[in-house]
Chain A
Amino acid sequence: MPFEPLALAAYSTVSALGRGRGTALDALLQGRSGLRPCDYDGVDIETWIGRVDGIEDVVLPAALKPFDCRNNRLALLGLESDGFASAVAAARARYGAARIGVFLGTSTSGIEATEQAYRQRGASDGALPAGFDYRHTHNTFSVADFTRRYLGLEGPAQVISTACSSSAKVFAAASRHIRAGWCDAAVVGGVDSLCLTTLYGFNALELVSRRPCRPWDAARDGINIGEAAGFALLEREGEGVRLLGYGESSDAYHMSTPHPEGEGALLAMQGALHCAGLAPQQIDYINLHGTATPSNDRAEDRAVTRLFDGSVPCSSTKGWTGHTLGAAGITEALFCALAIEEGLVPASLNTEQLDPGLSAPIVRTTLRQPVRVAMTNSFGFGGSNCALLLGQPA
C-alpha cells in the first residue's frame, strides 16, 4: 500500500532563533545565529548553548499547575506560537476530540525538576521536597499528557523517547495511527529543554564544543546543546507542505557512536525514499543531522554520499539552534517546511574550513532557490535513526 501523504495543516516552532516561523525565517535570511556563550544557571562548562529566552516567565494554566517545569513551559510557548493552539481547536471542532492523537518526542522530559529536587534533599533523611511532583514533570509521558490536556484532545497519546531521533519518529507513529484508523488527525512534535544532565553528560563524553559548533568543518570538535519546541498538525486533507514518507532503522553498533560507514543512516534514508516512492535525484535539499562531532558528521557524510553521490545541496542547521536533542527532528522538519514554502536553502552556519575528507555538498550561504522535496535526518544514541521527506503537493 503506497504511503498517502499527510498535510502539515498548521505548525509552530520555538528555538534559540526566537518564537514563531516568521522569526526563524528572518534569522535564517539575515544570518543571525541563536547561539550564545553558556549562561545556564549553575553550569561551569566553557561552551555555547541555544537557549530560549523567557521560559522562566511562562505561567501554566492553574488546572495544569502540577505539570509546571521548564520543559512544559517551553511546550506552552510552542503551543501558543504561530496560532497553533487555535488551529488545533478548529480541527477538534471538525474531527471530535477523541479523533485527534498526540505524538511527542523528548529525550530528557522535565528532568530539570528532579535535578533541583535532589539539590534540596533533606540533610538528615535525604528525602526529596514534599512539593516535588515527579509524575507530572519529569516522567517521560509528561509533555504529551500536558499537551493533550492543554489542547483538550482525547485521542491516543504517547511520547517517543529515542534520544535525538525522538521527534522525527513521531511523524511515522502518527502516520501509522492515522492509516490504522485509530485517529483522523494528529498533533506531532517535540520538546527538549536545557538541563544539567545533558550539559554535564555530553561534557563527560567529551562531545561538547567550547566554540559555536562547526558542522562538516575540518576542525569541528563537538556539539552545542540547545532547547526547542515544535508542533505540527497532521491531516489527510489540507493545504501546504506534506509529509511524503519516513524511514526508520537501528545501527546495532554502539550506544553512543554511530556506525562508521553510516549503515543505519543509509537504511533510514533509503526507507524514506521507498516509502515516498521517490528516487534520490528527486530530492532538492537535505537537512543533515550534522551535530558537528567528528564521528557523527563523518558517518552521515559516508551515508549521504553513497546514496546521493554529491548531487543534492546539504546543510546542518545546528549552527543556528544548537543540537536540540529530542526536539531536533521536529525543529529541522519545520526548517524543511520553511525551505519549501519560501524557496530557500539555509546555510550550514559556522562551517569555515570544509573537511577535505568529507564529500557532501555543503551550502555555505543561505540560497534563494525553489525546493520541492526536502529530506531531514535525525540520528540518536542507542543507534536510533529516522529520515523524513517533506514536499509540496504534486
Chain B
Amino acid sequence: MMRVNVESIGLIAAGMTGWEAARPVLRGEVELDAAVVPAFKPNLLPPNERRRTTALIKLALQTAEDALARSRYGMSELASVFASAEGDGEIVDRICTALTLPGHPVSPTHFHNSVHNAPAGYWAIAAGSRKFSTSLAAGAATFAAGLLEAASVAVLEREPVLLLAYDYALPPALAGRGYVDAVCGVALVLTADDGAAMTRLSLEMQPGSAVPPPLPAEFAALRAHNPAAVALPLLQALARGESATLGLPCHEHLTLQIGIDA
C-alpha cells in the first residue's frame, strides 16, 4: 500500500468552473448547472503563446491554474503527470484534413502541437520548470494510471507532483468513436506524507473487476463521456471532507483501491 497526501485540487467542467465553485455542487448542496460553460483563458500563458495553443492545451493549463491557486508550491517546484485519454482531437482533425489536400500542407505549428505531451511542454515553458514530467494515456482508466504514476513519483522520487487528467470533446468527424465526448479537467497536487495535516490517500492494486462507484445521474453522464471524470467519486469525498473507500477500474481484471483518510 502506498500513502500520498492531497495538497490541492482543481476541477474544470460544465457547471463546475473551478474547485471552489464545484465543492457545493459535489456535496449536493447546489444543483449542477451544465449551462455554465467554463471560459478558457489560462493566465499562465502570454497572449501570443495562448493564440498558438488549442482548446485542449488551454483546458489543461487552466485546470492546473485552479489547483495552484490553493497550493503551497510554486509552479517551478512541481513535477508533473499529464494524463489524457485522447490527446488533441482538434489537431488530429486538422492534420488529417490537410493530408487529403494537394501538396499535403501540414502546418508546422499543428505538427508540434500534435504530440501527446504538447500541454506538458507549454506548462514547462510557462512554469520555467525543468523537473520530471510525463504524459500518458490508458483509455477509460487514464485517471487511475495517472494517479499511480503521480503517486509513485511523489513518494519514491520525493517530489511534489501536479497530476492533471483532462480531455476535450473530440471534433465532429471523430465524435462517438473514441473515449471522449465531453469536457473535463481534474488536477491534484500530491506530496509524500510529510506530517502536515492533509487528506491522505492510500493506494492498493487488487485483482478483479470493480463496478465504478455510484454517482448522481448528471455526474454519471459526464463520467461516461470523459475519462478524467472517473475522478468524480474521489472529488465528491474530498469536497465533503469524508473518509471513504473507492474502487476505480484499471481494466476488466484489475482495480485501484483508494482509501481516503480525511
Contacts and interface: CB of A to CB of B under 8 A. Distances in A.
A294 to B, nearest CB: 17
B130 A141 contact: no
A134 B138 CA distance: 15
Interface string A138-152: 111100110010000
B160 interface: no
Interface in B122-152: 122, 124-125, 127-139, 142, 145, 148-149, 151-152
B139 A145 contact: yes
B174 A267 contact: no
B106 interface: yes
Interface in A167-196: 169, 173, 176-177, 179-183, 196
Contacts of A97: 253
A173 B251 contact: no
Contact of A252 (B99, B112, B124, B254): B124
A205 B243 CA distance: 52
A141 B138 CA distance: 5
A22 B121 CA distance: 38
A111 B152 CA distance: 31
B104 A114 contact: no
B250 A156 contact: yes
A98 B133 CA distance: 27
Contact of A204 (B111, B121, B122): B111
Nearest to A201: B111
B197 to A, nearest CB: 25
A333 interface: no
Contacts of B145: 156-158
B179 A249 contact: no
Interface residues of A, number: 69
Interface stretch (B25-33, B89-97, B215-223): B89-97
B106 A161 contact: no
B131 to A, nearest CB: 6
B106 to A, nearest CB: 5
Given A98-B254, A201-B111, A158 B133 contact: no
A67 to B, nearest CB: 12
Nearest to B127: A252
Chain A CB within 10 A, most for which of B87, B92, B117, B138: B117
Given A162-B117, A249-B130, A255-B121, A205 B111 contact: yes
Nearest to A250: B124
A393 B222 CA distance: 50
A308 interface: no
Given A173-B149, A204-B108, A254-B125, A160 B156 contact: no
A324 B234 CA distance: 39
A204 B107 contact: yes
B229 interface: no
A330 interface: no
Nearest to B84: A140
Main secondary structure of the interface of B (DSSP, over half): mixed
Contact of B117 (A119, A134, A200, A381): A381
B137 A126 contact: no
A264 to B, nearest CB: 6
Contacts of B190: none
B178 A205 contact: no
B2 interface: yes
A118 B87 contact: no
A154 B253 contact: yes
Interface in A83-130: 97-98, 107, 111, 114-115, 117-119, 121, 126-128
Contacts of B207: 98, 154
A380 interface: yes
A250 B178 contact: no
B124 A126 contact: no
A117 B92 CA distance: 12
B134 A162 contact: yes
Interface in A260-276: 263-264, 267
Given A114-B92, A182-B205, 16 more contacts: A126-B173, A157-B138, A158-B145, A159-B136, A160-B136, A161-B135, A163-B116, A173-B136, A173-B152, A176-B152, A177-B148, A180-B151, A196-B99, A252-B125, A255-B112, A263-B130
12 contacts: A107-B115, A107-B116, A119-B99, A141-B139, A158-B137, A162-B116, A162-B133, A173-B149, A180-B2, A181-B2, A201-B106, A249-B130
